[in-house]
Amino acid sequence: MTDTILVFYGSYRSDRMGIRLADFIVSELRARGHDVELIDAKAVGLPMLDRMYKEYKPGSAPPAMEELAQKIKAAHAFVFVTGEYNWGMQPGLKNLTDHFLEEWFWRPAAIASYSAGRIAGARSSFTWHGTLSEMGMVVISSTLAVGPIAQTLNDKGEPLGEPGAALKKSFPRFADDLAWWTEAARSQRTRKSPPY
């Protein structure tokens, strides 16, 4: 069975580097036979959180929010591509994520972080782990950490030199971990309804 995977990316900056990692992940997951869609928070353009999706009466949520809610509900797994801003999360991705809650439940999530420096967004990855868990996702233990991103991937998301080769080598474990949990969650949902 083909897995439907949403890859979320959240930078609003004009010179976005992390899109390289998002494009790389989308390409690699598609090469493994998955149905993958990139969800770009900037392109979706949700406002600063006022009301969550569940707080709207059925059929009254803004169109972009309704469309994304349906995609999240239909997906089997998620990948969050996150940069690090002052040791923390990107506000654009966090804002998009917070518009939803139950829609995320009982599916696995993977985190891929990046930065311009050698820390590779690891501190942001750490903060996302707890947040995604709190939002009802099973966060896989494998992560990708890419930095410096400009020396790892070109503007088409293709690996560069030794850092790119290291990323390419580490990707299969990341993808296999996500696939294992995706299959486990799907199988469990067919056996037994979630407890809430």
14: how many CB neighbours lie within 10 A of its CB? 5
Q: What is the pLDDT of residues 135-154, one digit of tens each?
A: 999 999 999 999 999 999 99
> Tell me, what's the pLDDT at 20?
98
Determine phi and psi for 148, rounding to 5 degrees. -70, 130
CB of 179 closer than 8 Å to CB of 142: no
Residue 1 or 69, more confident: 69
Domains of the chain: residue spans and CATH: 4-191 (3.40.50.360)
In whole angstroms, what is the distance from residue 9 CA to residue 38 CA? 7
> Tell me, what's the pLDDT at 114?
96
CB of 43 closer than 8 Å to CB of 75: no
pTM across the whole model: 0.96
Say yes or no to pLDDT of 194 above 90.
no
186: how many CB neighbours lie within 10 A of its CB? 17
CB of 11 closer than 8 Å to CB of 18: yes
- Of 90, 123, 112, 83, the residue nearest 178 (C-alpha): 112
Q: What is the pLDDT of residues 7-46, one digit of tens each?
A: 999 999 999 999 999 999 999 999 999 999 999 999 999 9
For 65-79, what is the mean pLDDT?
Answer: 98
Q: What is the average pLDDT value for the chain, to the nearest integer? A: 96
> Tell me, what's the pLDDT at 131?
97
In whole angstroms, what is the distance from residue 122 CA to residue 104 CA? 23
CB of 62 closer than 8 Å to CB of 32: no
pLDDT above 70 covers what percent of the chain?
A: 100
> Tell me, what's the pLDDT at 195?
86
